[in-house]
Chain A
Amino acid sequence: MMNVVKKILLAIALPLTLFAGWYFLSADSESFYSPPLEKILVAFGDTWGLDRLRADVAPSVLRLLAGFLLAALIGVGAGVAIGMNLRLRAVTEPVLEFFRAIPPPVLVPVIMLFAGIGDAMKVIVIVFGCIWPILLNTVEGVRAVDSVVLETARSYGVNGVARITKVILPSAGPQIAAGLRQALSIAIILMVISELFAASNGLGFTIVQFQRSFAIPEMWSGIILLGLLGFVLSLLFRLAERRALRWYEGLRAAQRQS
């Protein structure tokens, strides 16, 4: 019990101190660019009401999720196909590595050519940007499935769909999760970037509007909201990952002990 209390105290001590430090140090700030935190907080409350959340945050988050899920679906699907085929992998790998190496934001101008500036463009940008780590990690994970596991599956007649869903995907799961985690942070970046170019709504769009109109406390509050969004999404992802890969954690702990 004491331990839990101590843990919680340790966890919140520094954030509280930093927050309090920022609050009090900035209290008399005359600087135009770093207004008092109090002002930012007031702006936060004023700015991000239900209407704004519905009008700007919800579209951003929906586009983000659509793009991420599409990329996950396509990436894992194609990754399994490529990972299971030696030749296909050899042919596609350099091409995939090249696509992964392209900084995703530069795809925005290209995709704007094809898909205009609507929601479709933004979702495609997110898909195109975050599919590569998922795809390449899946390929790597599938390739690395233990040969004994595969032989066991084969000799017990675990073929076809079950071979993929019960054997190959779970075995590659940890690697795929790592790819998804990378992809998620890229997806958030692209969510913002795609809105900077041409948009009429969205979180990134709004923050830049604030910056351009020199509404500094509002801009700060947007940055804080974006940070919170990133934090919450990564937290949710970690929870889901821990649930899905409970066996992997346990296995690793067991291996460390022996």
Chain B
Amino acid sequence: MLEVKGLRKVYRSGSREVEALRDLTFTVDNGELVCLVGPSGCGKTTLLRCISGLLDPTAGDVRVNGQKVDGPPKGMAVVFQEYGRSLFPWMSVRDNVELPLKQKGVGRARRKQLVEQSLDAVGLTGTASAYPWQLSGGMQQRVAIARAVAYEPQTLLMDEPFAAVDAQTRADLEDLVRQLWKRLGVTILFVTHDIDESVYLGQRVVMLSTSPTVVQEELAIDLPEHRDQLTTRADPRFIQLRTRVYEQIQAAKRNAMQ
């Protein structure tokens, strides 16, 4: 279980203070897929970095299975938005996926197996010896996902992972995330600024206000378990839900203007 309680983050630069996160509280149950959505510049990335232990919060805390986060927690993998910078260009796809496993102390045979399985799972069979920059953007993000999957995390954080890929690739990758989630039973926290994406992917959507950020509303997505780019997106319930999220985001922006 992932618990975020009273999280606050203030950036100080000289005498200036910027309050990025004001007061955030929400939980993600084990095995749940929750989407975080908010207007651009709402501190989503700050929040994710606090959760992944890359950034110390000013107040409040983050707990993973009851353990307070103070540094990157075990059993958590992150997929960054900037796949081009997050994959190491000096390593082949295989080495990129394998390095974290080596660091974890996984044995050679098991590593080989995990690398192969995860590359297969994201549809990249046979690209192991290529360099990341030899692949298209969508394929690079698949490598990043494979790296996260091979790490065998209990919790997977995804920071706007598809913001930089084209629309068709994006739809494929969304389905890939759903499929991996169901198969592996991991807990996924998926951050996005795309309202449709959040409704399509999530079991629950947590909407954030503009900065300084609070939780605007939480919404359970009661769409059928099986989702499909064509039918789900045409489902009247889908449209109701996305309208609801859209209104909340707009309201959040209006509040910020006043």
Contact = CB atoms under 8 A, between A and B. Distances in A.
A217 interface: no
A170 B54 contact: no
B82 A156 contact: no
Nearest to A167: B88
A171 B99 CA distance: 15
A171 B77 contact: no
B99 A156 contact: yes
B103 A162 contact: yes
Contact of A157 (B80, B88, B104): B104
Contacts of B103: 156-159, 162
Contacts of A255: 133
A173 interface: yes
B89 A148 contact: no
A159 B100 CA distance: 10
A166 B86 CA distance: 14
A62 to B, nearest CB: 32
**Centre residue among B53, B86, B102 by max chain A CB count within 10 A:** B86
Interface in B85-107: 85-86, 88-91, 99-100, 102-104
A19 interface: no
A18 interface: no
Contacts of B49: 151
Contacts of A146: 85
Contacts of B80: 148, 151-152
Contacts of A151: 49, 54, 78, 80, 86
A113 B86 CA distance: 51
Nearest to A174: B90
A155 interface: yes
B131 interface: yes
Nearest to A245: B90
B90 A154 contact: no
A155 B90 contact: no
Nearest to A157: B103
Interface in A74-98: none
A251 interface: yes
Contact of A155 (B78, B88, B91, B102): B78
B49 to A, nearest CB: 8
A248 B134 contact: no
A252 to B, nearest CB: 9
Contacts, number: 72
Given A157-B104, A247-B131, A250-B131, A166 B99 contact: yes
Given A146-B85, A254-B134, A155 B99 contact: no
A152 B89 CA distance: 13
B122 to A, nearest CB: 17
Nearest to B148: A156
A148 B88 CA distance: 10
Nearest to A158: B103
A155 B77 contact: yes
**Centre residue among A146, A151, A166 by max chain B CB count within 10 A:** A151
B86 A148 contact: yes
Contact of B78 (A152, A162, A247): A152
A240 interface: no
B89 A247 contact: yes
B151 interface: yes
Contacts of B78: 151-152, 155-156
B72 interface: yes
B77 A156 contact: yes
Interface in A229-258: 247-248, 250-251, 254-255
A146 B147 CA distance: 19
Given A151-B54, A250-B133, A254-B134, A158 B99 contact: yes
A254 B80 CA distance: 21
B52 interface: yes
A159 B85 CA distance: 18
Interface in A150-206: 151-152, 154-159, 162, 166-167, 170-171, 173
B205 interface: no
B133 A254 contact: yes
Interface of A: 146, 148-149, 151-152, 154-159, 162, 166-167, 170-171, 173, 247-248, 250-251, 254-255
Given A157-B74, A250-B133, 11 more contacts: A148-B86, A149-B88, A152-B88, A155-B72, A156-B100, A156-B147, A157-B103, A159-B103, A247-B131, A254-B134, A255-B133
13 contacts: A151-B80, A152-B78, A152-B88, A154-B54, A155-B77, A156-B72, A156-B99, A156-B103, A157-B72, A157-B103, A162-B99, A162-B103, A247-B91
Shortest beta-carbon contacts, A-B, top 5: A156-B100, A148-B85, A170-B90, A254-B133, A247-B90
